Every structure is written in C-alpha cells, then in structure tokens.
C-alpha cells in the first residue's frame, strides 16, 4: 500500500482528511506525540494509542547515538523495538544537532558534531540521514535541513535556506524509491515571505509526498509565527499534507490548523506532564500549587482520561510533591489525552463547517481560567 | 461482612487458604506489593491488580507525614485516594520511625521523632497509630511495636519485646470494635525461642485477628531467619493468618511458606524494578549489563507480563541506560508479576499436595542461572 492523502473537508483555510499509510490511517489535523528515545516518556505505547494518537515522532539524533540506528535495524526496526505498530515519523536529526550537540561544524557536505551523551564524534549528511531513517524503518522520513537561529540577517537566512534546498535534492536522491514510505520536504526562509516562496518552489520542483514548515516555533513568538502561517502554507501544494514542526501550545495548534496546517508535533504535553503543568479546557493548571492539596475534584470533570476519572487534584498534588513516578504517568496521560481531544474536536468542527464557532468556544473556555478554589 | 480466614489445604507446614474481607478475598499464601506513599511506585493500580495482587501495603509513617492521615480521611480514605478498591494493610509506623526518622526518643508512652522530609516533630503512640490507621481506612491494621536492631543482648531483646506486648494490649484497647476491619498482633523476641514463645502467648492472651512475625528480615541472614521460622509460626494460632513482615527475596518467600507463613510484603520487586534488577525463574538478571544490548529475546520467554510479551532485552537495556521512566514501569511490572506467579504456583502446589516437588523445581530452575548469552 502506498502513501496517500485524502482531503475530506475544508472550512476557511482549515482542512480535515486522512493520510493513508501501510501501517494505518492518520486522521488530520493530527498531533504527533514525541517518542524521543524509543518511548513517549512515562507512557506505555498502548496508552498513547488510547489517547487517540495515530502516529508518533521519533528523534533521529537521539536514536542514532543510543542505541544506534544499526542496532535498531538488527532488532527489526523501531516499530518492533518500541512496540508501536502504527506509523512513525522521524525527524532528520538536523534540528537537534543544532540545539543539543557540541562542537558542531557545518559544511556543504553536512554536519559533524560531538554527542551530548559521551562526546563521541559523528557526521550527518543528507545521505546519512536518509540511511538512518531507513534503518529505523520510519514511515514518514524528513529531509535533512539546516535551521538558523532567529533573529538573523536576510543574507544568513537566504544562504541557510538555499543550503537546505540543495540538501533537500540530495535527500530526495538518497531516499530513492521506497513504496509505502514517504519523504517530506521542509520549507525554510525564516519570517521572510520571498524566501518562503522561493523555498516552496524549490521543494515543489523536486517533488515530495508532504511538505513541512520548518524554522518556526524557535522563539519568534506566536504573532510572528502566525504572520508566516498566514501566507506560507498557501505556497505548498493543496493535495499534500502540511506539517508544522515542533508546535506547540494548544492555542498555537488551533491557530495553525486555522491557517491550513495538517500535522504537528511537540514535546510540550509530555514534558509538562513531568513538570506538573496540566492542560485543560480552562487553561493551564499547575498541580504543584498548594491550592490543590485538599481539593477532591478532578483536573477536569468532563475529561475521560484515567487521571481525571480516578484521581482527585489532591492526589495528583500529593504524588507530584512526593516525586512519585505515577505523577508523570498520570499527568502525561492527561495532557496527551487533552491534545488528542483537541485535535478530534477540530476535525469534527471542520467536517461540520463550524470551525469558527468552535474556535470561539475554545478561546472563551480557556479565558475562563481554572475552576474556583474550594 | 466480617474478617475471616479459611484454610483450604496444608502440605507439610505449608498452608493455602483465603482471607475474606469486606473489600474482597485475599488468596494465601499472599504477597503484598508495597504502596508506600499512596502508590506502588511506577505502577497504575489496575496494573498491580493485573499482576494478581489481592492486597496492598501502605506505610503509616510516610502517609502520616505527607499528605497526612487527616487529609486522606477528609478525601474519603486511602482506597479512594489512591484508586485501589481492594484490601489494604497498613503497618504501624513503628519500624520506619526506627529506620528513617531523625532524633527518635522512645518512652513507655511511645516514640517522638523528626520527619525525614521537613524536620517537623511528631509522636506516635499505640493509640495514635490506631487513630492514623483508622483515618487511612486500613482493612488490616498492625499493632504499634518496637523492633530492636540485631544483634542485641538478651536483656535488650526481652525488654523491647515486653514493651511491644504492653503496646499490643494498648493497641487492642484503642482499636476497639470495628466490624470489617482486622487488627494483627506482632510477635517479637529476636532469634530467641523462649522470648518468641512468651511473645506469642502474650498476643494470644490479648486476642487478635491475625499474627505477624516481626523483628525478622532485619539483617540476620536467611539461615537465622529460617531457624526462627522453624519454630515461631507454630507458636501462633493455626486458625489465624500469619504474616511475615518485610520478606523478601523469592527463595526467602518460598522458605517462609514452607514453614507455615501465609502473608508477606516487601519493596524488593518494585525497588529492584527501578534499579534494573529483574527476577526470573532462572534467577536474577541485571538488565544494565552490556550483554543484553543486542539481545532480541524477552527477559523470560514463558512470562506473560507486558515487558516479556512486547519487548526485547535490548529494548529494556536501552531504556534503562537512557533513564527512561518506561524502564521502571516495565521492570516493576515484570517483577510484581513474577512474585504473584510465584505465589500462585505455591498455592496450586500446596492445594495439590506436591509442594515439595514444586520447591525442588523452583530451586533447580533458579540454579540454572540466566539463559546463555547470544
């Protein structure tokens, strides 16, 4: 079975549909939980699926360093290794080389760097990135790209974007013909409309199964990101999925979907679960706060996740304060459940043509803030 | 419904039966996982039940300090708080005051100490221990006792045992009449047969719903413990459950059951799960060892726990080395599953009158050691 994308409905610029892959369907707009090192932290894969996730993201950079792509390949691939049978998207390693590794050296050929784990020396080129992602068995492979830190001057952004476009062509060549597996190009160009257009055209000329919006959610702020999303998705093909990388907070996600984005990923719901930050329809709750110590109510009385069905805020406060592992387990589950419910709500609203009123309700509910202290 | 104990079969000194409580049956011999601070670490309560556990142990000392017994009472009791509807046994707090708290002061009245968490000052007396355990909603309440560190001279052991017996009488008085809730006495007397006999008679004169063997598994070694277990359980009533506190390794447990013990608890399976020590029929496996890095085989190919059904040793090694939370989740689940399978195997063997041959098989399997390296 080959990779395909069906659009079922649009509402304004928002779209809903399904990406069909050999390992199952991905309902869009889709949120992809991040399973950095072969696990969505503090979650069993079955529980991740229970939240409604159709696809996970794996990090090439982390997996190539430990346990290594070659080892995962010998063990039958990442799906089997981590016990997740459904689709996996892997990033190219580029972004995390830039943010995590030591002593990076960037050339036309690729990047050399030292591992943040043990200082060992590694190289990623577009060709090596394609090889690693093939060894992992990724269903959706990302082109190897470079993402400059913002703010940067126009020349830096243009040079970097054009390097990424040359790497995109090399990635396409190295990926070859792999039925059932998809390769996504990544649009760059910072906040500059002309560079975004040039990048999109370069990618379209090469031809990809899907198109990502890269170089956003890197500290530019929501307004700047939305300004780019007001024009950048329109530059990409209508009939292919559009993936906004590394986004985001719930209102980032809603705003991105409203601007035509189909896929997103972010560590926020899982990372926040471990630090006691909880996402609810009424905004963020910090479970560490003493106001919860005697509160018999659930985080959200309408939420159907195990944390809300079976536990009081007082319990969640207690286990967070006591640094019990179940705190990370329950809060991560809740956050991922919240994110998937958010996506499901948007898919329904877009399908029914009422996404604008859905968005109003979303923002009103969030603006209410948390329930009154008891 | 009241508390009762039915013996179904004996084989040598080993016994199998059922303890009936208002919150469900406890099949004996029973192993009680430890849920120190309102959670069996790294496990959802439903998963603990799935391993076969009929009852959990909660620690009075930890819970009285955080979140406090009064708070748990206000929130509806420990069962509701931690989402475990089945029986809970709570210890008296005595043992952990001795092993964890600072600046302990022991008098006839009780013990004063400083919290190891925040240095706050607390007192536990037999009466306060009964009150705390009532506030928690414990199904099986333990007498407040004192347990001297071994080795100690005979006078120290005798004085301590007699203090514990006076406290047992005060615990009995303070406990009062609570239908559906049981109070267990605790035999002390170190390794001394005459003191164990005196202690047993004191407890029988007071009258309890069950009898624990205290002051063992405190560093005396397996041989010394088994020597005491060769005579001490026989001093306790045949028609009441016998509970060996804080035991132990799998072969400690098997040896204790062979000597007439019905109930045990220990942090070992859960704590070991977090440190990478795995119990299997073929002995202990240290998942941290590099020999597992490329091993596609499960921990135990005949084990039906999720860690063995869904993951390779290579994966478990990887997530342990990467300090991923799922490592603690999977290894704890496996260890608790192994312990409950051990208990189920003993219950079957005692019921069928073949416990001696079951023990031979157990020891032979363990003596084989782990499977050969690939």
C-beta atoms surrounding B251 within 10 Å: 15
DSSP per residue, A215-226: S-SSSS-HHHHH
pLDDT recorded at residue A97 = 87
In the predicted model, what is the mean pLDDT of chain A? Answer: 97
Q: Give Cα B309 distance to the centre of its chain.
A: 27
For the cut 70, the answer to whether the pLDDT of residue B1 exceeds it is no
pLDDT tens, residue by residue, B66-119: 999 999 999 999 999 999 999 999 999 988 888 888 888 999 999 999 999 999
Q: Give the burial class of B369: count Cβ atoms within 10 A of its Cβ; 0-12 exposed, 13-18 middle, 19 or more buried.
A: exposed
Structure tokens at A221: 């702020």
**Mean pLDDT of the A218-240 span:** 97
The structure tokens listed for B167 are 């406290």
Backbone angles phi and psi of A140, in degrees to 5:
-120, 115
- Checking if the pLDDT of B13 tops 70, the result is yes
Find tokens 């002390």 and name the residue: B188
User: Shortest CA distance to A273 belongs to which of A261, A287, A253, A260?
Assistant: A287
Residues of B annotated as catalytic are 91, 265
Q: Is B19 on the interface with A (CB under 8 A)?
A: no
Strands (E), A82-166: 88-90, 102-106, 111-114, 121-124, 140-142
pLDDT at B150: 79
Mean pLDDT of A249-264: 98
Average pLDDT of the segment spanning A117-137? 96
Q: Which two three-digit tokens encode residue A347?
A: 């898919």
B44 CB within 8 Å of a chain A CB: yes
Mean pLDDT of all residues in chain B?
Answer: 97
pLDDT at A103: 80
CB atoms within 10 A of CB B4: 14
pLDDT of residue B214: 96
Phi, psi of A22 (to 5 degrees): -60, -25
Q: Which of A55, A2, A48, A47 is nearest to A243 (CA)?
A: A55
Position B99 scores a pLDDT of 85
**DSSP 8-state class, residue B262:** -
Report pLDDT digits (tens) over A334-352.
999 999 999 999 999 999 9
CB contact under 8 A, B306 and A44: yes
For B138-173, write each residue's pLDDT tens digit: 999 999 999 888 789 999 999 999 999 999 999 999
Which CATH superfamily, name and number, covers A4-266? Answer: Queuine tRNA-ribosyltransferase-like (3.20.20.105)
Helix (H, G, I), strand (E, B) or coil at A73: helix
CA–CA gap between residue A63 and residue A78 (Å, rounded): 9
B-chain residues near A84 (CB < 8 A): none
Query: Which residue carries 């257009």 as its tokens?
Result: A197
Distance CA A282, CA B220 (A): 56
- Strand positions, DSSP E, B289-364: none
| Residue percentage of chain B with pLDDT more than 90 | 94
CB A243 within 8 A of CB A261: yes
Whether A251 is a known active-site residue: answer no
* Residue B370 in this model has a pLDDT that exceeds 80: yes
Whether residue A7 lies within 8 A of chain B, CB to CB, comes out as no
Measure the CA–CA gap between B243 and B220, rounded to whole angstroms.
18
Q: What does the block give as tokens for A178?
A: 């792999």
Question: Is residue A1 very low, low, confident or very high in pLDDT (cuts 50, 70, 90)?
Answer: low
A342: tokens are 């958010």
List the single residue in B81, B296, B319 with the smallest CB-CB distance to A38: B319
Cβ contact A321–B66 (<8 Å)? yes
Q: Do A41 and B325 touch (CB under 8 A)?
A: yes
- Cβ contact B319–A294 (<8 Å): no
**Residue B128 structure tokens:** 């306060």
Backbone angles phi, psi at B94, to 5 degrees: -60, -50
Domain ranges of chain A: 4-266, 273-368
CB B126 within 8 A of CB B97: no
| Residue B321 contacts A, CB cutoff 8 Å | yes
Is the distance from CB of B135 to CB of B78 less than 8 angstroms? Answer: no
Q: At residue A10, what are phi and psi to the nearest 5 degrees?
A: -130, 155
């Amino acid at each position: 079975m080959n990779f395909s994308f069906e659009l079922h409905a649009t509402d304004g610029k928002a779209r809903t549909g399904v990406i069909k892959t050999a390992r199952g369907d991905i309902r869009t707009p889709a949120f992809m939980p991040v399973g950095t090192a072969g696990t969505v932290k503090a979650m069993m894969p079955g529980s991740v699926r229970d939240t409604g996730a159709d696809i996970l993201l794996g990090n090439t950079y982390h997996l190539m360093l430990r346990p290594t792509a070659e080892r995962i390949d010998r063990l039958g691939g990442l799906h089997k290794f981590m016990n997740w049978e459904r689709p996996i998207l892997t990033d190219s390693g580029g972004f995390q080389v830039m943010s995590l590794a030591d002593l990076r050296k960037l050339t036309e050929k690729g990047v050399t760097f030292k591992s943040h784990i043990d200082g060992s020396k590694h190289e990623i080129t577009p060709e090596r990135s394609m090889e690693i992602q093939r060894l992992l068995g990724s269903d959706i492979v990302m082109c190897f790209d470079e993402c400059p830190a913002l703010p940067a001057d126009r020349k830096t952004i243009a040079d970097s974007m054009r390097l990424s476009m040359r790497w995109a062509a090399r990635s396409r060549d190295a990926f070859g013909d792999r039925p059932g597996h998809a390769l996504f190009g990544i649009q760059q160009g910072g906040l500059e409309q002309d560079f975004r257009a040039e990048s999109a055209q370069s990618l379209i000329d090469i031809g990809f199964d899907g198109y990502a919006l890269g170089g956003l959610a890197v500290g530019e702020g929501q307004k700047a990101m939305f300004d780019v999303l007001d024009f950048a998705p329109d530059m990409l093909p209508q009939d292919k999925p559009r993936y906004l990388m590394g986004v985001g907070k719930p209102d980032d996600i809603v705003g991105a979907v409203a601007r035509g984005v189909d896929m997103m990923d972010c560590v926020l719901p899982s990372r926040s679960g471990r630090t006691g930050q909880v996402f609810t329809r009424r905004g963020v709750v910090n479970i560490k706060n003493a106001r919860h110590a005697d509160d018999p109510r659930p985080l959200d009385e309408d939420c159907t996740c195990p944390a809300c069905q079976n536990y009081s805020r007082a319990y969640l406060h207690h286990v967070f304060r006591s640094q019990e592992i179940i705190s990370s387990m329950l809060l991560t589950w809740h956050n991922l459940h919240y994110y998937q419910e958010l996506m499901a709500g948007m898919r329904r609203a877009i399908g029914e043509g009422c996404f604008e009123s859905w968005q109003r309700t979303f923002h009103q509910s969030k603006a209410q803030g948390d329930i009154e202290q008891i």
